[in-house]
Amino acid sequence: MSKVFIDTNILLYAHDPRDPDKQEKALAAIVDLFETGRGVVSTQVLQEFCANALGKFRLEHDVLLRQLALLHNFEIIRMSPEIIRRAVEITVMYTTSYWDACILAAAESARCEKIISEDFNTGQYYAGITIENPFIK
C-alpha cells in the first residue's frame, strides 16, 4: 500500500470556499486517503494548518479541534532531530527552502511514494518521492 504525504495547502483548500473547484478536489483527496488509510501528515503540517485556520480562515476553535481529531487518524510524523538534519541535507541537494525540505524529509521518513501539494512542481521527483498537484489532473 503506497503512502501519500499531505501538504498543508491541501488541508487549507478543503476549508476555503472561495475556490469551490479546489475545495472539492482537496476534500476528495483527503477523503480518499482517509478511507484507504494511506494518508500521512507531519507535526509541521498540523502546526501550519492550525496557524492558518485560526488566523487567515478564522475557523472556530471547536471546529478546528474536530478537524484535528480527524487528522489524527492519519499517520503522523513527529519532527525529530534526524528528520531536521535530513531536511538540511535536502535543502542543499535540491536547493529548496528549509520548510519545503522538512516536508520532503518527513515524507521520506514515512516511506511515502507521493506528496500531494500545490507548492512543489508536479511530476518532480525528490528523494525517491513524486510530487502530485491534485488541482491539475
In this structure, what C-alpha cell is assigned to residue 96?
Answer: 529548496
What's the pTM value of the predicted model, to 2 decimals? 0.94
**Are the beta carbons of 5 and 40 closer than 8 angstroms?**
yes
pLDDT digit string, tens, across residues 69-125: 999 999 999 999 999 999 999 999 999 999 999 999 999 999 999 999 998 888 889
Whole-number pLDDT of residue 137? 63
Spell out the domains of the chain, with CATH numbers in brackets. 4-136 (3.40.50.1010)
More confident position, 2 or 1: 2
* Closest among 70, 87, 8 to 34, alpha carbons compared: 70
- Residue 122, sorted as left (phi over 0), alpha (psi -120 to 50) or beta, turns out to be beta
Give pLDDT, residue 12. Answer: 95
